[in-house]
Structure 1
């Protein structure tokens, strides 16, 4: 894959973002299943709400849930960029967004430092806004 193939680089960013969600789900399973199997958490206590889980599970669960917020807009934008034929600028924005999501998730499942977590979230949000603005400009220019 060369730099002259922005579509492949964009697809790789999409796959990396998807891998983050799947990796967090796997990690969540490595927390939940042993706790239930050891009897530390009763199924009846978690069947309808999350209050029965300890803090570590909540952190991982929240990190996983976050992969269905801003990343949804990323996936839509990436699909539009693929339709238009992605520019190098869009590929760079996409990868920077994905990196921000990995940082956000890492902070979430480790020390959960709210300021650092918010900084990563906000950086991703700004990148996503620029990404969408770029796509909007491309659409208007194509009309």
Structure 2
């Protein structure tokens, strides 16, 4: 696979993360400006943000959990030249699951729906790592 094909899903994931960072900043700034938040000592996570600002922050922080393992895998697959069509297709499934998860999270936030999208991404990433590990270790 071409480097561009392998990196495109990673770029999409990175832009999703940056988009959620900007969304979190916008919602938090608006909440502070509207006087809906009282800053106190300690972590901003404990400030008692309004629901929309908290969802945006949680959604952003979710992108700092599984996606780093995805980014590492993409980098390794490029270095070892073990990225094929299956790898790219699974990469897009992972990223699509993260996008839908973020949309659900920042929307109606239906927990079972959100969990299903999270689980799809998690299982896809686990399978990607297993396939990659087998290919590298067996080769």
Superposition TM-score, scaled by structure 2 size: 0.91
Matching residue within 19, 23, 32 for 1:23: 19
Matched, 1:136 2:133: yes
* Count of residue pairs brought into register by the alignment: 138
Q: Counterparts of 1:126 and 1:49 in 2: how far apart (Å)?
A: 29
Q: Name stretches of at least 5 consecutive residues in structure 2 with no aligned partner.
A: none
Matched, 1:120 2:106: no
Aligned-residue Cα RMSD (Å) equals 1.6
Distance 1:57 1:42, change over 3 A: same
Q: Counterparts of 1:45 and 1:31 in 2: how far apart (Å)?
A: 21
Q: Any conservation in 1 of the 2:31–2:50 contact (CA below 8 Å)?
A: no
Q: Secondary structure at the match of 1:68?
A: coil
Q: CA deviation at 1:116?
A: 0.4
Q: What is the CA deviation profile of residues 66-101 of structure 1, one whole-angstrom value per residue up to 9, with x for unaligned ones?
A: 001111111111111111221111011111100000
Q: Any conservation in 2 of the 1:10–1:78 contact (CA below 8 Å)?
A: yes
